[in-house]
Structure 1
């Protein structure tokens, strides 16, 4: 009996030692990897002409707007559901987009700016296995985009005010232009995302990562022009952004 107990004890001790001695599989099922890094957002932008809908329906077919590239701090949370399938959430500091005039609005220069909030849910497939140091991946998902802190420049507001005075055919004097204010509201909504990238294991828990994502994104800008609280005109345009997002980051596995 004592001999059997001794054998069982030795087997248990060896099993426990094997558990501690076994290497921890990197990026395997159950792993959580948090990436933090730099995101460069480059819009493939276009727009429809600025169109007045109230009190008259008229558009400037030569007008347009463009969106400048921007940068921000990005954060990606990755949960390895299996060794290959990953559920991810992309977050980060909301970037600020700057809009500039094009066509007949080019002389205005900067039109305005806005912050964009775009939390993103993704499913990624990592190629290779948990022992692979270099793992390319592909994925897709959806983002919900909304905008805040939308501000229009005084130069653009005066340009809109001048257009409204001209459309009034003498009903509004030119002296009102400096006092005419225009505000904008940018529409929110869901947009599809596709992504691809590569992850490289630097050490047991640290990774270098680079990804490139494409977002199919457009938004409607609704403008309201007022004078001392009275609505003088309403106008709109549709902005297509369709940005490419390059994300270079460092990841840590928990």
Structure 2
């Protein structure tokens, strides 16, 4: 009997000393992740260039634009409300987005001057800021090393440091006469977010994590020509659909 008790105690001691990954992603856990994100804009497109002035309203037929793919870095902070449900905030280094265009812009209609866009590449650049807040559902139990998940949330995107190709900006500025200038802006927006991914625990507190996130993202670009008095003499706009798919690969640490 005594030997049996000693054997049981030894078994418990061995189990207690064994390294375990259990309950790493469980209720009350914080996980910080950093990594690289590939922004795929393969679905991006735009409406035709639209212009309005005292000469009337015109659409530049055949004009189109698209956003090119790029990389950025992302930072993720997750909190597990339960063993299976987590809330997550995502921040990223604002990537520089490049807009490439084709066709001929005719702000004053077919009878006016035409600006070939194909030779002005990129036509515009901007910095995109897009923090996200998501709720995720992790499948399996905290004891599982590999845990797939699905999630949804909201994103707010705004833009800074928006610049036109100097040749394009200079040509447009001439419509403003002596002292004319060009003002460019991109509209901000709230957008839904959808994500799928998985995390893999490779050490007691460390994870590999990967995900694919889709944001149905749209914005309106305004390119206004103003005269020396600050009055808009030529208003141009186009609706841009970028719809990025963001592929993330990173490393996480559990606190």
Question: TM-score interval w.r.t. the shorter chain?
Answer: 0.7 to 0.9
Mapping of 1:184-203 within 5 angstroms?
A: 184-203=184-203
Counterpart of 2:153 in structure 1 is 141
Name structure 1 gaps, 5 residues minimum: 1-16, 166-171
Give 1:78 deviation, angstroms.
0.7
Instruction: Using structure 1 for the length normalisation, give the TM-score.
Output: 0.82
Counterpart of 2:107 in structure 1 is none
Mapping of 1:92-171 within 5 angstroms?
A: 92-104=92-104, 105-161=117-173, 164=175
2:169 is paired with a residue whose SS is: helix
Q: Distance in 2 between matches of 1:49 and 1:40?
A: 28
Give the conservation status (yes or no) of the 8 Å contact 2:120–2:165.
no
Cα 1:107/1:180, change in 2 over 3 Å? farther
Task: Work out the number of aligned pairs and report it.
Answer: 225
Counterpart of 1:39 in structure 2 is 37
The CA deviation string for residues 16-47 of structure 1, in whole angstroms up to 9 with x for no partner, is: x9xx8695621011111111000111112000
Give the conservation status (yes or no) of the 8 Å contact 2:121–2:165.
no
Q: Distance in 2 between matches of 1:160 and 1:242?
A: 29
Give the conservation status (yes or no) of the 8 Å contact 1:158–1:180.
no
Deviates more, 1:36-45 or 1:101-110: 101-110
Mapping of 1:234-253 within 5 angstroms?
A: 234-253=235-254
Give the conservation status (yes or no) of the 8 Å contact 2:189–2:218.
no
The CA deviation string for residues 162-193 of structure 1, in whole angstroms up to 9 with x for no partner, is: 7x59xxxxxx7xxx6xx653221110110111
Give 1:112 deviation, angstroms.
1.3
* Greater helix share, structure number: 1
Give the conservation status (yes or no) of the 8 Å contact 1:152–1:183.
no
Q: Distance in 2 between matches of 1:207 and 1:91?
A: 19
Cα 1:247/1:238, change in 2 over 3 Å? same
1:228 is paired with a residue whose SS is: coil
Instruction: Using structure 2 for the length normalisation, give the TM-score.
Output: 0.82
Q: Distance in 1 between matches of 2:171 and 2:64?
A: 13
Counterpart of 2:228 in structure 1 is 228
Counterpart of 1:216 in structure 2 is 216
The CA deviation string for residues 195-250 of structure 1, in whole angstroms up to 9 with x for no partner, is: 00010001000000110000001001111112434432111100000000000000
Deviates more, 1:151-160 or 1:236-245: 151-160
Counterpart of 1:3 in structure 2 is none
Q: Distance in 2 between matches of 1:100 and 1:187?
A: 18
Q: Distance in 2 between matches of 1:120 and 1:93?
A: 13
Deviates more, 1:222-231 or 1:83-92: 222-231
The CA deviation string for residues 69-118 of structure 1, in whole angstroms up to 9 with x for no partner, is: 11111011111111110101111211111111123321222111111111
Q: CA RMSD in A?
A: 2.1
Counterpart of 2:9 in structure 1 is none
